[in-house]
Amino acid sequence: MDKRRRTIGIYIRVLTKKPTGQGYSLDEQRKEAIQEAYKLYGDNIDLRFYVDEGNCAKSTYRKELNRMMHDTEKGDLDAVITNKLSQLSRNLSDSLSLVEKIHGENVNFISVTEGEYNPYHVVL
């Protein structure tokens, strides 16, 4: 078994500071993503957090997503975990495009609620 230390990026996004329900506040998202990281990769991990918070009309919107994608491209991450695929973008095709870019850098993408996304697995 591979025992090397892994760096896991955790991407969290909410559009307002007010929690939108159980499992969607920043704290709940953080807890669930951390649990998933330890469940999948064990104790030999470093966690790196990317948190976008606030109104999407602000110029800082997606600043942390962009930083995470940059770190992915640099080879700094072994996996990216988010609570839902839709947190990457409001548009499904944009979200899937980002995940394909992540996979293109040999980085795993895991959604806590939807599982691991594998762009090469086709269900007929």
Count Cα neighbours of 94 within 13 Å in the Cβ-side half-sphere: 7
List own/partner pairs for 93-101 with CB under 8 A and 24 or more apart.
Answer: 98/65, 98/69, 101/69, 101/72
The model's pLDDT over 48-59, given as tens digits with 9 standing for 90+, comes to: 999 998 655 554
pLDDT for residue 3: 75
pLDDT for residue 60: 52
pLDDT for residue 117: 61
Place of tokens 């940059």: 70
β-pair partners for 50:
11
CATH topology of domain 6-116: Rossmann fold (3.40.50)
pLDDT for residue 87: 86
Distances (CA, A) of 101 to 1, 11, 24, 63, 106: 27, 15, 25, 17, 9
Chain centroid, CA 48 distance in Å: 10
pLDDT for residue 86: 84
pLDDT for residue 23: 46
Average of per-residue pLDDT across 30-50: 94
pLDDT for residue 53: 80
pTM here is 0.82
Residue 47: pLDDT over 80? yes
β-pair partners for 13:
52
Higher pLDDT, 59 or 47: 47
pLDDT for residue 2: 59
Chain centroid, CA 34 distance in Å: 11
**Where in the chain are the domains?**
6-116
pLDDT for residue 115: 78
